[in-house]
Amino acid sequence: MQIISPDKVIRGKDAWKKSLPEIVNISKFPMLLGRSSKTRSLRSIISKDLSQLNLKVYNCELEFDCCEDDLKRIYNLSVEQKCDSIIAAGGGKVLDAGKLLAEYLSVPCITVPLSASTCAGWTALGNIYTTEGKFVKDIKLKSCPKILICDHSFIKSAPKNTLSSGIADSLAKWYESSITSSSNQDGIIQQAIQISRVLRDQLFIEGEDAYNNPSEDNLAWSNIVEANTLTAGLIGGIGGEKCRTAAAHAIHNAITQIKSNKKPLHGEIVGVGILIQLRLEESKNNNKLANQSINQLVKFMKNLNLPTTISELGINVFENDNLQKIASFTFRKESEIHFLPFEFSKEDIIQVISKFESQKISI
Ligand SMILES: [Zn+2]
């Protein structure tokens, strides 16, 4: 069985208002889950609107990224409060936590992305991190959220780097799925890969305009917001596991194991992962277009103020055995990097990253 999409997707300027009757239909005691103090005012609007419809809202905040400790604590609270739905309002990690909690409690999940940084509002997946933000594992869920509410007025107030981070994460869909699944004979998977190519083109064409002019009246901005929060999720839904991740995400997961003072966002790390994946394809899979793709990507990423090296993520790979640690985690048995359809070793990863970090890419 394939889990493709949320039951309902409500999108646009007043998506939140339009979704209220749908929420009233399925819940009386929702838990409203969030995290950042920056989203508190938006969450209080959500809470107030629900209370006015006589729903008894229980407000709850995560203390950390989506981690086991927080999930256990909030699970117990929601049982005590007899919550009959989870409304997760925030960035990717809040949305992941909401989906996991809803599944543990067997109640519907409603996702309300408050930035365009990931497609977590769509997917039937939840990533678990430690309290320090190190990636632990991803968990496949039984279903996508019941309702996804992509409200443009909410998302427009998010910091600019969440949009660029989301763009880098969405770009990975093409670079990861086209290499892992290009020889797959399944027509639906081929179609998912083609959607990821169209998505990539749209990000290249409209990404900078969206980043520089975040406004609901700017069609480029609305298109990119929905590309990141909706289309990227749809590709994973139709294409399945191998259309979601490969080396770029494996490298992301490894980089989160190393302490960085900069606290980069998910997509910011994934973007660097795409560049390293392309270097690996160049050296081990004879990808003759890799260099051109890297030049195109680096120029685009710099215009969006995205990091283009691990050192720009706040990590020196040549210190504290970091290079070894990143390569070992990237190459571990359960890593998605093994979806790549060519031979390479841990030593190759070390060499590629070492060369990548020593080079000054000048555009
Ligand atoms: Zn991602």
For residue range 153-177, list pLDDT tens digits in order: 999 999 999 999 999 999 999 999 9
**Statement to judge: residues 141 and 45 lie in one domain:** yes
Residue 361: pLDDT above 80? no
- Looking up residue 62, the CATH number of its domain turns out to be 3.40.50.1970
Is residue 258 a part of any domain in this protein?
A: yes
Residues 272, 126, single domain; the answer is no
Domain boundary among 116, 132, 155: 155
Domain that holds residue 243: 160-358
Domain count, the chain: 2
- Residue 243 binned pLDDT confidence (cut-offs 50, 70, 90): confident
Q: Ligand 1 center to residue 249 CA distance, Å?
A: 6
For residue 39, being part of any structural domain is answered with yes
Choosing from 155, 176, 192, the residue where a domain stops is 155
As given in the structure block, the two tokens for residue 63 are 């203390």
Closest CA to 62 of 39, 84, 85: 39
**How sure is the predictor about 196, in pLDDT bands with cuts at 50, 70 and 90?**
very high
- pLDDT tens-digit series, residues 244-274: 689 999 999 999 999 998 999 999 999 999 9
**CA 49–ligand 1 middle distance (angstroms):** 31
The per-residue pLDDT of the chain, averaged, comes to 95
Whether 97 and 227 map to the same domain: the answer is: no
**Token pair belonging to 18:** 């339009």
- Domain end, chosen from 99, 122, 155, is at 155
**Cα(271) to centroid of ligand 1, in Å?**
9
Task: Identify the bridge partners of residue 137 per DSSP, sorted by sequence position.
Answer: 128
For the sheet with 147-151, list strands across it. Answer: 8-12, 147-151, 109-113, 85-90, 30-34, 58-61
With respect to residue 209, please indicate whether it lies within any of the assigned structural domains: yes
Q: Please give the backbone phi and psi of residue 277, each rounded to the nearest 5 degrees, phi first.
A: -60, -45
Measure 27 CA to ligand 1 centroid, in angstroms. 30
Each residue of 106-159: pLDDT tens digit?
999 999 999 999 999 999 999 999 999 999 999 999 999 999 999 999 999 999
Helix, strand or coil, per DSSP, at residue 8: strand
Residues 190 and 76 in one domain: no
Tell me the CA–centroid distance for residue 118 and ligand 1, in Å. 7
Q: How far is the CA of 232 from the centre of ligand 1 (A)?
A: 9
